[in-house]
Structure 1
Amino acid sequence: MNAVEIEEAISKLAEEAFDAEGFPYAFLEAFGNKATTIQRLKSGSTNQSDLPGGVLQRSNIHIQVCKEGEVPAALAELRESSATAKHKAKFILATDGKTFEAENLGDGGTVVCDYPDFHNHFGFFLPLAGITTVKQISENAFDIKATGRLNRLYIELLKDNPDWATEARREDLNHFMARLIFCFFAEDTDIFHNVGLFTATIEQMSARDSSNTHEVISEMFRAMNTPVRHEGTLDNRYREAAGIRPWANGFPYVNGGLFSESVEVPRFSKIARSYLLHVGGLDWTKINPDIFGSMIQAVADDEERGALGMHYTSVPNILKVLNPLFLDDLRARLQEAGDNARKLLNLRQRMARIRVFDPACGSGNFLVIAYKEMRKIEAEINMRRGEADIRSVIPLTNFRGIEIRHFSCEIARLALIIAEYQCNVLYRGQQLALAEFLPLEAANWITCGNALRIDWLSVCPPTEKGVKNRSEDLIETLLNQAEIDFENEGGETYICGNPPYLGSTWQTDGQKSELKAIFAARTKNWKSLDYVAGWFIKAADYGTHTRSSAAFVSTNSICQGAQVPILWPLIFASGHQISFAHTSFKWANLASHNAGVTVTIVAISNHPNKWRRLFSVADDDSTIEKQIEFINAYLVPGQDVIVSPLSKPADERGLMEWGNKPTDGGNLFLTPDERDAVVSESPKATRFIKRFLGAQEFIRGEQRYCLWIEDAERAEAEAIPELKRRITEVAKMRAESKAAETRPAAAFPHRFRQIQSIAGIYSLVVARVSSENREYLPIGLEDNLTIIGDRNFALYDAPLWNMALIASRLHWVWIGTVCVRLEMRFSYSNTLGWNTFPVPTLTEQNKADLTRCAEDILLAREAHFPATIADLYDPETMPADLRAAHERNDETLERIYIGRRFKNDTERLEKLFELYTQMTAAEKKAPQKAETRRKRHEAKN
């Protein structure tokens, strides 16, 4: 269940007559527990409570229904219950049907209310459904409640008006919904000068059978689109000329584009009319534009409606972008100004010229938060200057956006309008806020269109002079184009947002064509880039025309592996550098079961400060900030450096090679049963069958065998019928292959198509792809009778201390940074990961110490035989002795690097990149010295 569905279920439960016996189960059912789960609790098989009448769901909640008046005592009893602690209950809840009390045992938060009102606190309990939540939702469930009600209304209107459901008319329906939201807000905040006016008029003037509901609403919309003033004074001539009905004449003139053009309204069924009145009955003074916009946008999107309530992005996460981008600097300037009136005025004038631009604005979250935070700073300036009532100098039109979905554009603009009104009420008082609110400005500053096809300079021109639209796709670009001149010559521009990520595999043909149009003339490798890369390069292009900074939430893959040498040299060449960054963290929303995506935040600027800011997450989830001189493209302290593949290691470590590739149609492979059958029938076949180690065999311990026949042994092997049959099938498969490189291999069907090597004594094996959840990279030791498949890499007969390097946390961190990622999994590379891994010069004692560490790891694994790599390296169940062996290995290796353990992964990467820079500098000098010696020799002779 999503948050909206849970809210609806809880509200329904609160409306029903209190059932003391059934309440605990109904409450849990409302949070998505299945019928079978509830039945097991009722039967007592899973109820862990030690209190009479109590219900305890393990790792969730302990509930008790008590006698009237005994709720506080019952809650105390739940808190002191040994079962509550033993079974790790997160919440305790007590009620008598009159009073309702609950506590979050993790953070101490509490709810105390009358029983009929407990549904207003449903956000407090969302973790029961595995849904991560934030303070704003826990404390105020209105936005989710409103989203659910509007969603039901929207679906019902689609049923009643199938023509409005077509692509041609969906935009009209979305615009209608935006108008409704404004009216609900306006009637509850006294903007209409009569609380409840809109809903009451519908209830009074429209028939109960809903036959004229659409006409009543249309007439109110007509009134809000008709002026009530002439030449600055109240004058009813326009209303009279328009024939506005007397009962609608009480509505003020709103327009501002919101009620212009058509006032056609979809028809209502009785159910839709009921939903409409229900929505109007909510208290819309509680709307939070930070939250509401991102939720309501899903109402109008068929694909997203199933995820209602899961699109909210927390304000703290948005501020991770906005604070270091420019808000921190404004606050610092405010602190420096103190009570100096001139400095305060200069800061206010500076803020009036700041442009905030989100080229993937969705419903406007980033713009709304930026506006509200700037108004907070401005209010402090005004207070210090004794001008608390002065009108804001921060124009909404300086908060610009591009969004491809029409309804989201409507909601973004509406959210900013609501935010402006709420800020005016907060900082200037309701009387002044109301006096200045209507009519709305007609300006449209949120552009509907494709951000990767639109010329950003046309949407957010850097000066009042404006910039002509230079896009080739004029039809799309000019669609609902924002056309407002700025009056802030020389102001600052800050670009921000959370653009769509989409790796290359998941991009549509249209999205690929957009990236091609941006990158094809710059690099031939653009197809490997994530979709979000388009926003970064567009921001860099924008910055070549004006002084600007940009910060985007992004997948961390654009700062890892193969994408780095494709994207970042282009950005750096434009004159931009990374001004701040936040390394990988979970981008929290209302996603169920912690499904928030792992992201980074990267900012680029053509005028960065001397000291750059690098943020990372500590083991305790706190944020660590380092101020450093440079941040490279891998989000590591240090100068710009791109890690390039090396054909072999620069030192004496082992050569890592690909495993052997069969290309055989499966004919050279045998299951254990097939091997036994072949050997039983032809014992001589034993010498031609070897154990095969692919990815699953290595990680999960699966058993598989392969035919391994030397050229000189082919005739002898083909004397065995089953082997002959398999070899013939391989020849046929290769000969008929569509791949040109495969067909020649039909000449030697008895062996693998590509044979790299086999071990003389043993092989060190490394999986090509492995889970990022393991704390160490999978590496194993195999004998010379095992054939290593091409899903693995192998070091044949390399010294065992090589294993200690690969099994280290240092190497895990390096691979995770410089190698390609498949989703979040590590995709290992011998040339990019192993050969480039910086290792200090090792003494013989170092090698001996590392060899012993590798042996200890192998012995610890052996003690848990037959546990597999997957079993042993599960982070939740990793054996203590194996973990201790790895800790000793890390301790030994890291002391070789810096004489002590590293504090965290950021420090590890900083050292590794320092060594890599030294290593590559030495390699560049070596050929230069050789060339100099050659020239000296030639000159001497």
Structure 2
Amino acid sequence: MNAVEIEEAVSDLATAPFDPVEFPYAFLAAFGNKDTTLKRLRAGASNTSDVAGGVLQRSNIHVATCAAGQVDATLRALRESPKTAQAKAKFILATDGETLQAEDLFSDEPPIACNYTQFPDHFGFFLPLAGITTVKQIRESSFDIKATGRLNRLYVELLKDNPDWAKPARRPDMNHFMARLIFCFFAEDTDIFNGTGLFTATVDQMSERDSSNTHEVIGEMFRAMNTSVADRATAKLPRWADVFPYVNGGLFSGSTDVPRFSKIARTYLLNIGNLDWTKINPDIFGSMIQAVADDDERGALGMHYTSVPNILKVLNPLFLDDLRDQLEEAGDNGRKLLNLRNRMAKIRVFDPACGSGNFLVIAYKEMRAIEAEINRRRDEADRRTDIPLTNYRGIELRDFPAEIARLALIIAEYQCDVLYRGQKEALAEFLPLDAQNWITCGNALRLDWLSICPPTGTGVKLHGDDLFNTPIDQAQIDFENDGGETYICGNPPYKGTKNQTKEDKDELTRLLSPYTSRSGTLDYVCGWFVKAAEVARITNAEAAFVSTNSICQGGQVPVLWPILNKMGVQIKFAYTSFKWRNLASNNAGVTVIIVGISSRNYTERKLFDVTEADNAIYKSCSIIGPYLIPNHTVIVEGRTTPLSDITPMSLGNAPYDGGHLILTTDEIKNLGLNQTQRERWLKPLWGSTEVINGLSRYCIWIENPDLNEALSIPSIAERIEAVKSMRLASGDSGTRQMAARSHQFREMNFGRHNTIIVPIRSSENRPYLPVDLFKSQDRATNLSYALYDGPIMNLSIIASRMHLVWIAAVCGKLETRFSYSNKMGWHTFPINTLTEQNKFELTRCAHEILLAREAHYPATIAELYDPENMPDNLRRAHEANDEVLERIYIGRRFKNDTERLEKLFELYTKMTQSAGKPKKTKKKEAA
């Protein structure tokens, strides 16, 4: 269940008759507990509560109902219950059907004490019960989730009643109608309309109960809001509609056509209008309401919240921190405060993938807060804002989010005016709305960003209360803002390379063709970085985007970053990989980075690292390289041969078999082979999962001279024929050609003596990369890499901390998991020339690691390298291995991974400069 579904279920529970016996189970069901779980609790199998009327769910909640007036005593009993502690319950809850109290035992959240019917307003407090990671803003903003759910019900009902409005031609009209409704709900509860609840009350009073004229009543109110005072005399508005003010600003212009309402839809509308819309939070409401109008996203309703702390990870180091620093430096100096305020008035914030406007809204609100403090220090608290809303510009591909973005900014402006200047002043200046449209609907990679967000005009270089009293100290004069500043920000779409449509690929090709012919290897988000760099080259604008971490890893780095560097931009600040979480239940979050770029020459750049507690610490450095490594700008190019004196590595054997050449242990039994035939025709098969988890799989392995004999076995012949049919049916010509040898994998490589196998994918949580040594009969799949008959010392190098940090830096990742690559990671790995003594010691270390593992047979690599449970002898073997290898580099152990990387990049630079450019990559070995 998502947050919207939970809120609806909790609200339904609160309005139903209170049943003290059923309440605990209904409450748990509202947060997504399955019937089987509730059945066990009812039966007492998993309910160990020692409180009368109590239900205890381990690691979740201890809840109890009680007699009237006994809530305090019952909550105290739950808190003091030994069973609560033993079961590690996070929450306790007590209710008598009239009042409800609850506590979070594992956080500093204030307890809940409210009327029973009001506890749905606090549903966000309990979201961890559903596995939803929450932030403070969500817990305090249950209104936005409630309103989103109600609007979604109305939207779906209207589309059902008005099928023509669901068609592409009319869907913009439907979306525009919803935006108008949202404004009306907000306006009637904030006195923008004359009278609280005026819009909803008018619909209730003037429309028929059978809803037959509801659309006409709403249409007349919309017409009134589009009629200026000068035109009212001739507009012939009904008296009940004439009380609505002139709004316009583009929101009510054009058609006032309204979809028809059923009785159910009318009820939904009135229910929504009776919510308290003063609680709307434009920070998050826009992104949630966006899902209402998106068929693809409606199933994930409520999951699209982008937290304010995450947005500030972009905006703070981009420009807000600098404004706050200037505010602190200014103190109470009136001239400096005025300079800062005038600077802020010319700052433009531009989001070229703005969605429903979250980044723009947060930027606006944060800047208004700084301005308000300036005005307070200058004794001008009632001053009208100098920050124009039109300085917050955006591009959005879809029409409805673009409209919601503008509406969210309008609401944010009004709320800021109320907060900093008062309700009276805010109302006096709010209507009519500005007719300018500063959110553009269109394709950001095709539009000219400078035409949408051009630099502001030049301004005076000196501002002061007394222009005749010119300061002698030139530091008091602000020369920095001679023409305003532009900051580009946002969370553009990142689709990888495989999920791009043909249109997406064409967009990138068109945009990047002046710079590279390799755009097909880049993520879609790269287009935003290139467009931002083009703007920065001309205007000195700065940009920061949330991005997939792939743009700073693996094969994308040598394509994208030379382009950006040639344009004159460098990384101003960056966040290394972290989870960008949202409202989804059990959400692991998308793994992202944040990269800020600028053409300005900063002496200090900040490289942030997000901790488990979602705090950020940063390292100050003079430059940040494209791999997000401090003080190194070298770009690693993939190689087909090793840079160092190590064995070449190959991708394992690709089956292209439709599953017919690969067998589980149970499938082998069905082949009917004797022991001799098994040993001859079947070989153990190892990919990433098999190596890490010790799983057993086998493959049919037939050399050409043995084909006829193998075909004499019916069960094998049948599988070979199935492979042939699969390959012939393929749309790929290369696969069809392989049908001529359907008894074999695409490659037939194996070690005559041994094979060292490295999984392609592995967890980033292990202290060392998984790697293992296999016998001559073992075969590697293309989900692993292999060194055939190479010296065992190679295993020592792969299993070292040095190699892990190199792979983490230069290879691509899947989420945060390591994605190994022979060309990018192994063949580029720099190591000093090894003496015979070095090789001997590394070989000994490899054997020691294997022997330490053998002592714990049959434990798997996954079990042995669990960071919490790694055996002491294995850890000691690895530490000895690290010491031997690291002494080869600098004669001692490295202090930390940063020092390791700095040495590796330094050595890589030296070795590549002396070795020349790497050879071109063959397609067959791509990884």
User: Taking structure 2 as the reference length, what is the TM-score of the superposition?
Assistant: 0.89
Change (3 A) 1:759 1:348: same
Distance in 2 (CA, whole Å) between partners of 1:630 and 1:893 is: 29
| Cross-structure match for 1:267 | 260
| Cross-structure match for 2:9 | 9
Matched letter for residue 139 of structure 1? E
Change (3 A) 1:97 1:898: farther
1:527 equivalenced with 2:520 (yes/no): yes
Change (3 A) 1:129 1:424: same
Distance in 2 (CA, whole Å) between partners of 1:870 and 1:654 is: 26
Change (3 A) 1:415 1:895: farther
Matched letter for residue 23 of structure 1? F
Distance in 2 (CA, whole Å) between partners of 1:66 and 1:556 is: 52
1:838 equivalenced with 2:830 (yes/no): yes
1:279 equivalenced with 2:272 (yes/no): yes
Asked whether the 8 Å contact 1:767–1:828 carries over to 2, the reply is yes
| Cross-structure match for 2:207 | 206
Matched letter for residue 73 of structure 1? A
Asked whether the 8 Å contact 2:694–2:861 carries over to 1, the reply is yes
Change (3 A) 1:742 1:388: closer
Aligned to 1:613, what secondary structure does the other structure show? strand
| Cross-structure match for 2:906 | 914
Distance in 2 (CA, whole Å) between partners of 1:201 and 1:926 is: 75
1:766 equivalenced with 2:758 (yes/no): yes
Alignment of structure 1 residues 522-601 onto 2, 5 Å:
522-601=515-594
| Cross-structure match for 1:252 | 245
1:527 is displaced (CA, Å) by: 1.2
Partner deviation per Cα, 1:669-723 (whole Å, 9 max, x = no partner): 6766787898966948855665444455434444455566778x65996797679
Asked whether the 8 Å contact 2:557–2:627 carries over to 1, the reply is yes
Asked whether the 8 Å contact 2:750–2:776 carries over to 1, the reply is no
| Cross-structure match for 1:482 | none
| Cross-structure match for 1:441 | 434
Asked whether the 8 Å contact 1:144–1:309 carries over to 2, the reply is yes
Aligned to 2:774, what secondary structure does the other structure show? strand
Of the structure 1 ranges 751-760 and 584-593, higher mean CA displacement relative to structure 2 is found in 751-760
Aligned to 1:516, what secondary structure does the other structure show? helix
1:357 to 340, 350, 362: 350
Asked whether the 8 Å contact 1:463–1:489 carries over to 2, the reply is no
Aligned to 1:258, what secondary structure does the other structure show? coil
1:560 is displaced (CA, Å) by: 0.8
2:600 to 607, 628, 634: 607
Aligned to 1:544, what secondary structure does the other structure show? helix
Alignment of structure 1 residues 712-723 onto 2, 5 Å:
714=706
Change (3 A) 1:39 1:340: same
Structure 1 alignment gaps of length 5 or more: 229-236, 466-487, 928-941
Of the structure 1 ranges 745-754 and 140-149, higher mean CA displacement relative to structure 2 is found in 745-754
Of the structure 1 ranges 77-86 and 277-286, higher mean CA displacement relative to structure 2 is found in 77-86
Asked whether the 8 Å contact 1:693–1:789 carries over to 2, the reply is yes
Alignment of structure 1 residues 250-649 onto 2, 5 Å:
250-464=243-457, 490-618=483-611, 621-649=614-642
1:829 to 807, 815, 821: 821
Structure 2 alignment gaps of length 5 or more: 459-480, 920-927
Paired residues in the alignment total 895
| Cross-structure match for 1:132 | 133
| Cross-structure match for 2:221 | 220
Of the structure 1 ranges 14-23 and 786-795, higher mean CA displacement relative to structure 2 is found in 786-795
Distance in 2 (CA, whole Å) between partners of 1:674 and 1:271 is: 57
Distance in 2 (CA, whole Å) between partners of 1:268 and 1:728 is: 63
Distance in 1 (CA, whole Å) between partners of 2:331 and 2:909 is: 45
| Cross-structure match for 1:476 | none
Matched letter for residue 800 of structure 2? S
Aligned to 1:645, what secondary structure does the other structure show? coil
Asked whether the 8 Å contact 1:199–1:281 carries over to 2, the reply is yes
1:307 is displaced (CA, Å) by: 1.3
Aligned to 1:248, what secondary structure does the other structure show? coil
1:803 to 767, 777, 795: 795
Asked whether the 8 Å contact 1:657–1:756 carries over to 2, the reply is no
| Cross-structure match for 2:470 | none
Matched letter for residue 21 of structure 1? V
| Cross-structure match for 1:79 | 79
Matched letter for residue 187 of structure 2? A
Asked whether the 8 Å contact 1:717–1:723 carries over to 2, the reply is no
Change (3 A) 1:417 1:891: farther
Identical amino acids, percent of aligned pairs: 64
Aligned to 1:367, what secondary structure does the other structure show? helix
Distance in 2 (CA, whole Å) between partners of 1:724 and 1:22 is: 60
Aligned to 1:601, what secondary structure does the other structure show? strand
Asked whether the 8 Å contact 2:579–2:592 carries over to 1, the reply is yes
| Cross-structure match for 2:925 | none
Distance in 2 (CA, whole Å) between partners of 1:88 and 1:579 is: 45
Change (3 A) 1:901 1:404: farther
Asked whether the 8 Å contact 1:734–1:742 carries over to 2, the reply is no
Change (3 A) 1:241 1:582: same
Aligned to 2:292, what secondary structure does the other structure show? coil
Change (3 A) 1:219 1:836: same
Distance in 2 (CA, whole Å) between partners of 1:827 and 1:185 is: 49
Distance in 1 (CA, whole Å) between partners of 2:735 and 2:43 is: 63
Matched letter for residue 172 of structure 1? D
1:778 equivalenced with 2:779 (yes/no): no
Change (3 A) 1:663 1:374: closer
| Cross-structure match for 1:94 | 94
| Cross-structure match for 2:41 | 41
Distance in 2 (CA, whole Å) between partners of 1:348 and 1:188 is: 32
Aligned to 1:307, what secondary structure does the other structure show? coil
Distance in 1 (CA, whole Å) between partners of 2:620 and 2:42 is: 57
| Cross-structure match for 1:191 | 192
Of the structure 1 ranges 846-855 and 856-865, higher mean CA displacement relative to structure 2 is found in 846-855
Partner deviation per Cα, 1:569-597 (whole Å, 9 max, x = no partner): 11111111111100000112112212310
| Cross-structure match for 1:51 | 51
Asked whether the 8 Å contact 2:590–2:815 carries over to 1, the reply is no
Distance in 2 (CA, whole Å) between partners of 1:264 and 1:716 is: 77
| Cross-structure match for 1:27 | 27
| Cross-structure match for 2:120 | 119
Matched letter for residue 160 of structure 1? D
Give RMSD over aligned pairs. Answer: 3.3
Asked whether the 8 Å contact 1:337–1:344 carries over to 2, the reply is yes
Partner deviation per Cα, 1:625-666 (whole Å, 9 max, x = no partner): 011111111111123211012333343333323445667788
Aligned to 2:342, what secondary structure does the other structure show? helix
Aligned to 1:447, what secondary structure does the other structure show? strand
1:171 is displaced (CA, Å) by: 1.0
Aligned to 2:493, what secondary structure does the other structure show? coil
Change (3 A) 1:585 1:822: closer
Distance in 2 (CA, whole Å) between partners of 1:85 and 1:724 is: 60
| Cross-structure match for 1:932 | none
Asked whether the 8 Å contact 1:730–1:746 carries over to 2, the reply is no
Asked whether the 8 Å contact 1:690–1:787 carries over to 2, the reply is yes
Aligned to 1:603, what secondary structure does the other structure show? strand
